[in-house]
Amino acid sequence: MDEMKSKNYAWRKKPRKFAPKSRLGCKTCKIRRIKCDLSRPSCLKCRSTGRTCDGYNEMPLACKAERIQPTQYAREIVDRVDSCDSDHPCTTASAYEPTRWHSKYHDLNLQNLGSLMVLPVTGSTQAEAMYFFQDISIKDLNEYRPCEPWRKILMFFSQTVPAVRHAAMALALIHRNYLDRDSHERGYQSPSWKDRLQDKAPLIHYNRAIELLLNLESGDSAETTAVTLLVCYLFTCFDHLAGDDVQAVKHLRGGVALLRSIETASFSHCTSDNAQSSGVHAILCQVAKQIHHLDMQAVMFLVDWTPANIQETFMSHLALDDSPFRSLDQAADHLQNLLTQVMRLRNTNYQISPTDTMSPLPSSLKDIVLGQLETWSNLFENLLQQDGPSGSDFGTGPLVSLLRLQHTIAWILLNGYGPGREMDYDKFLPQFQQCVALAGEVAAAHQRYSGSSRSTFTPEIGFLPVLYIIGVKCRHPIVRRQVLSILRRQLIREAAWDSISTARVVERVIEIEEGAGGEQMVHCMEQIPVWQRIEALSYTYVRRGPPAARLEITYTFCAREGVHIESLMI
C-alpha cells in the first residue's frame, strides 16, 4: 500500500515545467503558453487546432540587425528608438532583410556608425507609405541634380531613426495625396489606397516626428544636427506639397540658421569635389549641401530672401578666375550663385556691394555678374568638349539643357535690368526662342524621368520660373503660346511654383497686353505699345476654406502710374 501511495504521489515531487512566455508569438499562443510559429496573418498552431488566432502585438522596439562595430551613435539610435511607445509605434516597410540592406548600402561609408537598426512594420498602409517614399518620393526630390549618396542617406535614416522615419512617412502620404488628386481630376482613381488613407494620416506622422525630434538628447553633436537637418528638409518638402509655403519657408529658415551656427571650418572641405569624407561628417556635409541649394534657390519665389553667406560665396567664385570646371556639379553650383545674384539685384532694385568691408567697386555689380556669366559659359562649353566617357555624355543630359536655359535667362534679365526698359526685351527674341527650345528639352526629359504624364514634385527650382519670365517678358505671340503649351503638358510643382498657377498668370498677362481677352492675337511684338506692357508683376497663391483656390496678382504698367490688383480663379 505504501508503495502504491508513493507511485500515486510521485508526480507531485516533480517540478512543473512552465514554457517561457512568448514575446513574439500571437496573443492566443501567449495565453496558452506554447511556442508560436509566428506565421502571418494567423499562426499554424491556432489553425491546426481550430482556434481563432487573435493576431500579434507589434513590438515598439527596434530589431537589431547584423552587429558591426558598436559606437556611441548606435547606442543613441537605440535610446531614441526605445522612446517610441505602443501608442505611437515606430514603423517600417521591412522591404529588405538586414544583411541585404546593409550590403546594398555599404558604399555609403556608414560602417563606422554602429549597428544598423531596422525599425519594425506596423500595418500595410504605413508599409505602403514607406515603399512610396523609397520608390517615388526620393527619386523626385532631387530630379534635376540627382545625387546617389544623398538618396542613400535618406534611405538609411528613414530606416533607422524614428524622427526621420515619421517625417518621411508624412511626406510620402501627402505626396501620394498630391498624385491621387491629379489622377482623380484626369478620371483615374486608386481605390485600394484611397480607402485606407485618412486625411489626417500625414499630419499624425508630421506631429510625431516633431515629438521625437524634441525628445532627442540635448547637445550639438554631429549626429543630432544631421537628424535635425534631415527632418527640417523633409518638413520643407511636406509643407510645399501641402500648399503652405509660409510654413515651408519657416522650416528652411530654421535649417539655414542651424547651419550658420555650426563652425564654417567643419564644412570647408565639403565643397571640394575631390574631398573624401566618411561617417557622420560625410552625412552632415551632404545634408548641408541640400539645405544650401534650397536656400540659394529661394530667391526665385521670395523677393525679400537673402541666402546665407551670399557675399562670401560670390567672392569665392570670383576667386576662381578662369579655373576649369572639374565636374558638371561644380558648374551647376557656380551658375546657381550667379543666378541668385541676378535675382537679388532685380529684387532689391539697387546695386549692392559684394562685401560690407570692401571699398566701392570700380564698376557696377551688374557688369561684374555679366562678366562672370560670360566666363561661366566659356568654362562650361570647355567642360562639355572634354575628351573621355564622362564628357561625351554631357551633351545629351537634361541637366546640361537646364543649365544652358538658366544661364540664358539670367543674361536676358541682367541686360534688361532697369525701369522703363520693357521695349528692350524685344531685342532678345532669338534668346527667348532658344530658351523655349531648351525648356522643351527639359520638359521632355522630365516626362521620361517620371515615366508618364503624372504630376511631379521637387523642392528644387528648375524651369518653371524661367517659363514664367519668358511668358511675361517676351511679347512674341507664338513664343508665349509655346510656353503655355509646355506648362499645360504636365502638372509640375517646384517648391512654391506650380505649372497650373504659372500658366494661369501668363494667360492673364496675354489677355491684358494683347487686349480683347486675348482672343484677337497680335501678329508681332511691335503691336503692343509700351504703355500697355506690364512692367512689374507678382502673384500670391491664396487658399481659404472649401472654395476653389485663387491667385492674387499685383502689377504695374510701364510708363504709367498706379498699382493694379486682381484675383484669378484656378
C-alpha cell at position 161: 531613426
Neighbours of 68 (CB within 10 A): 15
Contact 471, 509 (CB under 8 A): yes
Q: With a cut of 60, say whether residue 11 has pLDDT above it.
A: no
Which pLDDT score is estimated for 566? 94
Q: With a cut of 90, say whether residue 83 has pLDDT above it.
A: no
**Higher per-residue pLDDT: 556 or 127:** 556
C-alpha cell at position 16: 512543473
Domain ranges of the chain: 2-48, 63-249, 309-351+362-396, 417-570
State the Cα angle at 468 between 465 and 474, rounded to 5°: 130
Distances in whole angstroms, Cα of residue 8 to Cα of each of 2, 5, 16: 10, 5, 16
Find the range with the poorest average confidence among 79-83, 252-256, 360-364, 518-522. Answer: 79-83
Contact 109, 279 (CB under 8 A): yes
Read off the pLDDT of each residue in 498-506 and give the average, rounded to a whole number: 94
Distances in whole angstroms, Cα of residue 134 to Cα of each of 48, 96, 158, 237, 329: 38, 12, 9, 15, 24
Alpha helical stretches, state H, 161-221 = 162-185, 191-194, 201-214
Of the pLDDT bands very low, low, confident and very high (cuts 50, 70, 90), residue 40 is: low
Q: With a cut of 70, say whether residue 395 has pLDDT above it.
A: no
Rounded Cα gap, residues 241 and 83, in angstroms: 29
Rounded Cα gap, residues 436 and 422, in angstroms: 19
Which pLDDT score is estimated for 347? 76
Residues 177-215 pLDDT 10s: 888 776 544 433 333 334 434 468 899 999 999 999 888
Kind and range of the H or E element at 563? none
Of the pLDDT bands very low, low, confident and very high (cuts 50, 70, 90), residue 420 is: confident
Read off the pLDDT of each residue in 243-267 and give the average, rounded to a whole number: 82
In this structure, the dihedral spanned by the alpha carbons of residues 454, 457, 463 and 465, taken in order and rounded to 10 degrees, is: 120
Distance between first and last Cα of the chain: 100
Backbone angles phi, psi at 497, to 5 degrees: -90, 145
Residue positions counted in the chain: 570
Max mean pLDDT among 18-32, 49-63, 68-82, 99-113 falls in: 18-32
Q: What is the pTM of this model?
A: 0.73
Classified as helix, coil or strand, 485 is helix
Q: With a cut of 60, say whether residue 346 has pLDDT above it.
A: yes
- Within 8 A by CB and 6+ apart from 358, the residues are none
